[in-house]
Copies of this chain bind each other. A is one copy, B any other.
Amino acid sequence: MSLLTVGSVAFDALETPFGKTDKIIGGAATYITLSASYFVEKNNLVAVVGDDFPQSMIDDLHQHGINTDGLEIRQGEKTFFWSGKYHNDMNSRDTVEVQLNVMEHFNPIIPDSYQDCDYLMLGNTAPAIQQMVIERLHKRPKLIVLDTMNLWIEIANPDLMNLLKLVDVLVVNDEEARQLTREYSLVKAAAKIRSLGPQTVIIKKGEHGALLFSEGQIFFAPALPLEEVFDPTGAGDTFAGGFIGHLAKTDDISFENMKRAIIYGSAMASFCVEKFGAERIMNLTQEEIQARVSEFVTLSAFGLDL
């Protein structure tokens, strides 16, 4: 099935306890489409960059089968730039600098060839822009997955509330779920989010795994215990890409298959953190992915005779 991903394609400059980078390729939609490329063939990207964005990076996306017909290159403008510095525990980071540049007036253009998309991934960007994408599609996709962040919960809450009514799955981290609902218990937070629209809620807990909530059902997915997290940037987007990529590949949105999709997403995210930026997820084999998924099976399987 075809996947459409909307979100940022950006430059990032990162600093972790292990080192720092110059401007490297980043952005939610970059990580999502790269991650999904290991699952789907029709992998369509809608994003905007400036004329400073190198053709070699677009070539990299093409090499991963990503369709960039919807990647607008705005002449005379600059690409979105974010730089951040991670604390020693890698669980928190400070934003050092943000240059919105082209993202300030992002007007997502959906090429006609994308109109038949079955799965829609709304990567993190302003809720009003995410909603525009839904409205510009002639038919509703089979599944709409939404990612958002604390910034939009704070400054664009009414927009986000409207948008939540239109989507099937919300993917947030534990902090965002609590901020959105003012509930500390994640069980209560998920119930509240479900009452706002999305019938399925995924709450990511970083190194503690992820929870999947749907009607009367909960699934707890482990995270792979890692010796070292080199750079967590993009791990959440990579997770989302693996999740929706597996769903689109199998075209099965049952709860049982969503569990498997979360395991695939978690496996992809566990690769992402091994190197700076998107380097690791640009260089994976199907064999490596299957081996990693097997590790998750070993990690969480237990046999009980009840």
Contacts and interface: CB of A to CB of B under 8 A. Distances in A.
Contacts of A225: 186-187, 211, 218, 220
Contact of A227 (B187, B205, B220, B303): B187
Interface residues of A, number: 37
Interface string A260-282: 10010000000000000000000
Given A209-B208, A209-B209, A290-B306, A219 B300 contact: yes
Contact of A302 (B219, B304, B306): B219
A211 B115 CA distance: 46
A256 interface: yes
Contacts of A300: 219-220, 222, 300
Q: How many copies does the complex hold?
A: 2
A222 to B, nearest CB: 4
A135 interface: no
Contacts of A229: 185
Contacts of A228: 185
A9 interface: no
Interface string A168-202: 00000000000000001111100000000000000
A58 interface: no
Interface string A274-306: 000000000000000010011001011011101
Nearest to A191: B227
A176 B141 CA distance: 48
Contacts of A304: 260, 263, 293, 297
Contacts of A90: 184
B299 A218 contact: yes
Nearest to A222: B220
A260 B302 contact: yes
A116 B296 CA distance: 40
Contacts of A185: 226-229
A260 B303 contact: yes
28 contacts: A89-B184, A90-B184, A185-B227, A185-B228, A187-B225, A187-B227, A208-B208, A209-B209, A209-B220, A218-B225, A218-B299, A219-B299, A219-B302, A220-B299, A222-B222, A222-B300, A256-B302, A256-B303, A259-B302, A260-B302, A260-B303, A260-B304, A263-B302, A263-B304, A290-B306, A293-B304, A293-B306, A297-B304
